[in-house]
Amino acid sequence: MIQNKTTQLIFQSFFCAFGIIGLISSLGIFDMTWRWDFYIHFTNLSNYLCIGIMFAELVQTARKKENSYVSTLPLLKFISCLGILLTFLVFNILLAGEPTRNPALNFKINSVLLHIVLPIMYIADWILFYEHKNVKWNWPIISAIFPLAYAIFVFLHAWAYKFDATIPNYTKTGSFISSTLSFLANNVLKFIGVAKNFCFVVSAETFISSREALILINLSIGKSVPSATPVKSKCFFALYAIHIIP
C-alpha cells in the first residue's frame, strides 16, 4: 500500500477534478438541459457520496505533515466503495448492452465518468491508500444497508407520486416513475447478489483467515465446501448468514 503524501494528493486531485465534471454532467448541463430527476438514480447518488468523501480525503491529505495511510471516514469509505462498485457492475453487466439502449449513450462524458472512470479510481484509492487491517468484521453487513435503503427509497418515491406512470422523465421518452421502478423490480435479486459477493471478496483480504475467505468465495460462486472444514472467526458466521439469506 502507498503512504506517500504527494502520490495521494495527485490521485485525489485528479479524482476530484473528474468528479466535478461528472457531477455537472449528471445535471444535464453539457446537454443544455436540466435533469430534474437526477436525485432518483443510484448512479448519481453513489457518485455524489464518493465525490464528497474524496474531497474530504484531499483536505485531510493536504493538511497532514508526513507520509501515512489515508484515514478519512473509513466506515463511510467502505460503504461508498460498495455503492460505487454496484454502479460499475450493474451498468456494465446489465445496462450498457441492452438491445433497446442506444450504444452511443455509453460514450457520453457523463456515462464514461460516472460508470467507469470514477468507480475504478475510487476503488483503486481504497486499495492503494487505506490501511485494510482496521476494517471491522461487521462493516460488509453495514455496507449492504446502502443499496437496500436505495431500493426502499425508490418504492417510497413511487408511492409518493401515487405510482403515476403518466409522469414523463426529463427527456419525455418514458415514464419518470416506471423506468426506475421496473428496472429495480426486475433486477433486485441480482442487485443484492452483487452486494453480497462484494462482502465476500473484501473479507478475503481484511479480517478473516485465508482458509475462511476461500470458503466464502466458493460459496459466493455456488461451489460446495467440505462440511468438516474448521472455522473460528465470528465474522465468518456473519458473512455466511448473508450468503444463505434469500
Q: What is the pLDDT of residues 68-103, one digit of tens each?
A: 999 999 999 999 998 999 899 888 988 888 888 889
Cβ-count burial of 139 within 10 angstroms (0-12 exposed, 13-18 middle, 19+ buried)?
buried
| Grid cell of 39 as nine digits | 436525485
The reported pLDDT for the residue numbered 156 is 82
Which has the closest alpha carbon to 177: 167, 188, 190, 189?
167
Contact 54, 19 (CB under 8 A): yes
Select the more confidently predicted residue: 69 or 186. 69
Q: Domain coordinates of the chain in residue numbers? A: 1-134, 144-246
Select the more confidently predicted residue: 216 or 9. 9
The reported pLDDT for the residue numbered 170 is 61
- Region 189-193: mean pLDDT is 55
Point out the least confidently predicted range of 9-13, 114-118, 143-147.
143-147
The reported pLDDT for the residue numbered 226 is 56
SS3 for 219-244 is: HHCCCCCCCCCCCCCHHHHHHHHHHH
What's the pLDDT tens digit per position in 23-61?
Answer: 999 999 988 888 888 888 899 999 999 999 999 999 999
Q: Does 1 score more than 70 pLDDT?
A: yes
Binning pLDDT at 50, 70 and 90, where does residue 184 land?
Answer: low
- Region 163-172: mean pLDDT is 65
The reported pLDDT for the residue numbered 122 is 97
Using DSSP's 3-state secondary structure scheme, residue 175 falls into strand
